[in-house]
């Protein structure tokens, strides 16, 4: 399928915590993508950087969550582009992490800015009037890394079928969620050898995190790749 390449105007740049920026973009033509997909930003003539789309399709403003990583050349160059404002060249969209056509219970697992992909999927599901259970496990090193926790808590208040399970590795005295890793958080709920046999959903994070989660869930009966992830495409592994 031919990818869409377009110029998009920076309409919003908000720092949300842990050097994560909420980036809003608009263009003269409609953005063409499905919930759960990602796009690429042209950073230099030869370098395109991928980012999950955080908005749901058909919204006028396209949203990205971009973490600034000081000392990394691509991140430094992109950060300068963002703070200067103006336009960015985008190439979209890619990815097979799409909502199923038929409603079913879904488990969504995100580490850090992996939340962006889950936000797109969840908002699209809410727009569809999804009634089956939706459970979001979101983990970060500390509370600051859960940069949109208030939004996720609003979903839990507004949608009776949505459950939020946040966790942090390093908790302060005011933290009300789980104080553990994301893998440990899942392990609290999937204990028996066959407890994850029916799990379907999505997982977003680094390859190490995604595969650690997958390893745990497979020991609980989950078939391989039942939690769809872009990692399966760009960092595949052997399941034999």
Tell me the pTM. Answer: 0.97
The CATH number of 4-94 is which of 3.40.50.2000, 3.40.50.150, 3.30.930.10, 2.40.30.10? 2.40.30.10
| 218, containing H or E segment | helix 207-219
pLDDT of residue 240 exceeding 80: no
Averaged pLDDT, 148-157: 98
Neighbours of 118 (CB within 10 A): 27
144 pLDDT above the threshold of 80: yes
Using the predicted structure, report yes or no on whether residue 235 has a pLDDT greater than 90: yes
| Ranges of each domain in the chain | 4-94, 106-234
Q: How far apart are CA 46 and CA 89, in angstroms?
A: 12
Share of the chain above pLDDT 90, in %: 96
Residue 239 has pLDDT above 90, yes or no: no
Report whether 39 contacts 93 (CB < 8 A): yes
User: 106-234: same fold as 4-94?
Assistant: no
Q: What is the pLDDT of residues 63-110, one digit of tens each?
A: 999 999 999 999 999 999 999 999 999 999 999 999 999 999 999 999
Mean pLDDT over residues 151-155, rounded? Answer: 98
pLDDT score of 58: 85
The pLDDT assigned to 63 comes to: 98
Q: Find out whether 210 and 229 touch, Cβ atoms under 8 Å.
A: yes
- What does the pLDDT read at residue 1? 63
pLDDT confidence of residue 44: 97
Residues, the chain: 240
The model's pLDDT over 195-220, given as tens digits with 9 standing for 90+, comes to 999 999 999 999 999 999 999 999 99
Residue (of 95, 83, 16, 99) closest to 51 by Cα position = 95
Answer with the residue of higher pLDDT: 58 or 148: 148
Was domain 106-234 assigned CATH 3.90.550.10? no
| Rounded Cα distance, 62 and 10, in Å | 10
Mean pLDDT of the region 33-57: 97
């Amino acid at each position: 399928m031919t990818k869409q390449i377009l110029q998009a105007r920076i309409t919003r740049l908000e720092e949300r915590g842990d050097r994560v920026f909420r980036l809003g973009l608009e263009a003269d033509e409609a953005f063409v993508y499905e919930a759960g997909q990602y796009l690429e930003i042209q950073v230099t003539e030869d370098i395109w950087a991928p980012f999950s789309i955080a908005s749901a399709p058909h919204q006028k403003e396209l949203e990205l969550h971009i973490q600034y990583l000081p000392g990394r050349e691509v991140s430094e160059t992109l950060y300068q582009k963002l703070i200067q404002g103006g336009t960015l060249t985008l190439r979209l969209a890619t990815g097979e992490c799409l909502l199923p056509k038929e409603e079913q219970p879904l488990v969504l697992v995100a580490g850090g800015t992996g939340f962006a992909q889950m936000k797109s999927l969840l908002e699209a599901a809410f727009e569809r009037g999804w009634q089956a259970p939706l459970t979001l496990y979101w983990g970060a090193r500390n509370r600051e890394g859960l940069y949109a926790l208030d939004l996720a808590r609003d979903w839990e208040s507004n949608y009776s079928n949505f459950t939020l399970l946040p966790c942090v590795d390093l908790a302060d005295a005011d933290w009300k969620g789980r104080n553990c890793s994301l893998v440990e958080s899942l392990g609290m709920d999937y204990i028996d050898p066959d407890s994850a046999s029916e799990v379907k959903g999505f997982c977003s994070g680094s390859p190490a995190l995604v595969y650690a989660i997958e390893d745990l869930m497979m020991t609980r009966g989950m078939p391989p790749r039942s939690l769809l992830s872009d990692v399966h495409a760009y960092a595949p592994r052997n399941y034999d």
